[in-house]
């Protein structure tokens, strides 16, 4: 299928999944603050975002993002603004008790789309796939299908790691629910994390 050194690619995927980053912090925040269900759908949304970036890389659309300063800046500002909006909402919104489900108004679909948007609107993720996938594709025989298969591999390893992360962090959420005032502190903590992620996306250096 035009793929080279596939075992090495799988090993690299596992190492990249274990490296802490914005997606890991997002999943941890959702799981601890809102429980296992919210963390699960957020993790699935982020994983789906990886497929979006892989498809863009396969079609060559990510080349525009890498070569155009204005396109990079536009997407970066949009992603940062979205994360900041989530942070402000968590800080000033009505305090909800910690539970195993999302607060009222946040369905599984909403949680999934929020996770998806957080990943898709981060231009550094697009640039990562643009740089990470080509070394494992044979220029002579590879093509869009090769990129998609590699992206599906990354999606699989990332999903397994994310689900394990949700299971562990949701257990910590159950511990916090037995503590008075935990909901207010977790909401504030969630807001600060989202604000920090937004700042990281906005001011992150383009390489």
**Has residue 105 been placed in a domain?**
yes
Burial grade of 187 (CB within 10 A; 0-12, 13-18, 19 or more): buried
**Has residue 103 been placed in a domain?**
yes
**Has residue 115 been placed in a domain?**
yes
* CA atoms of 21 and 16, how far apart (whole Å): 9
pTM for this model (two decimals): 0.68
pLDDT confidence of residue 19: 65
**Has residue 44 been placed in a domain?**
yes
**Has residue 1 been placed in a domain?**
no
**Has residue 177 been placed in a domain?**
yes
The DSSP letter of residue 134 is G
Residue 83 belongs to domain spanning:
6-203
How many Cβ atoms are within 10 Å of 97's Cβ, its own excluded? 10
pLDDT confidence of residue 129: 78
* CA atoms of 112 and 115, how far apart (whole Å): 5
**Has residue 171 been placed in a domain?**
yes
Low-confidence ranges of the chain (pLDDT < 50): 98-102, 105, 206-207
67-82 burial: b if 16+ Cβ within 10 Å, else e: eeeeebeebbebbbeb
**Has residue 168 been placed in a domain?**
yes
pLDDT confidence of residue 44: 92
pLDDT confidence of residue 161: 87
Model confidence pLDDT, tens digit, residues 67-80: 776 776 676 677 67
Model confidence pLDDT, tens digit, residues 136-167: 887 777 777 888 888 889 888 888 988 888 88
pLDDT confidence of residue 1: 74
Provide the number of structural domains found in the chain: 1
């Amino acid at each position: 299928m035009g793929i080279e050194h596939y075992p090495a690619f799988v090993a690299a995927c596992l190492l990249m999944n274990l490296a802490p980053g914005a997606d890991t912090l997002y999943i941890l925040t959702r799981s601890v603050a809102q429980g296992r269900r919210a963390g699960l759908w957020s993790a699935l949304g982020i994983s789906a975002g990886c497929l979006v970036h892989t498809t863009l890389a396969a079609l060559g659309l990510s080349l525009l993002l890498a070569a155009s300063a204005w396109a990079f800046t536009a997407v970066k500002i949009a992603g940062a603004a979205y994360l900041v909006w989530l942070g402000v909402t968590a800080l000033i919104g009505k305090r909800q008790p910690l539970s195993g489900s999302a607060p009222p108004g946040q369905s599984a679909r909403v949680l999934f789309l929020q996770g998806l948007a957080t990943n898709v609107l981060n231009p550094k993720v697009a640039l990562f796939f643009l740089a990470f996938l080509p070394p494992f594709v044979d220029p002579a025989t590879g093509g869009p299908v090769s990129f998609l298969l590699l992206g599906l591999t990354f999606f699989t390893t990332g999903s397994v790691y994310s689900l394990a992360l949700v299971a562990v962090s949701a257990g910590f959420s159950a511990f916090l629910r037995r503590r008075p005032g935990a909901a207010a502190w977790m909401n504030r903590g969630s807001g600060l994390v989202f604000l920090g992620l937004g700042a990281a996306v906005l001011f992150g250096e383009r390489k």
